Amino acid sequence: MLKKEAYPTIFPNVPSYLSVSLPPSRPTTSATTSERWDRENERLLEAETAFFEADNINSLHDIKEKVFTDENFTRLNLARDERPNCLILSKLKFIEDFSEEIPSAPKVEYSLVIKSNMEYF
């Protein structure tokens, strides 16, 4: 038995004002669980690729850009010497001996020279 608010849609000989034509059925290929998983995995792979692309360094220009703009590098307080065909990064150690009138020169703890062909020493 039908409820009061229900109206028939599939019974024969029903007046047209009581019948509702059903919309055409939609294809379910993209609405399946496996399709949703595939689309989600595709989006995740694209996001992962974009994330790692931001860290790619392919040239001396990329290194210079990172060294001069990335706050992790600026916190290291490295001495940077930028030249057209290479970049020199050095960590200086200042020895504070206040007993002397003239402070001693800083000592180089380590340094790295990166050439434009991405060789380093």
pLDDT digits (tens, 9 = 90+) for 33-82: 888 889 999 999 999 988 888 778 888 888 888 777 777 777 777 888 88
pLDDT of 97 over the 80 cut: no
3-state secondary structure of 101: coil
Mean pLDDT, the chain, rounded, equals 80
The reported pTM is 0.50
pLDDT of residue 40: 92
- State the Cα–Cα distance between residues 105 and 94, nearest whole angstrom: 7
pLDDT value, residue 61: 84
Q: How far apart are CA 35 and CA 86, in angstroms?
A: 50
Distance between CA 56 and CA 110 in Å, rounded?
24
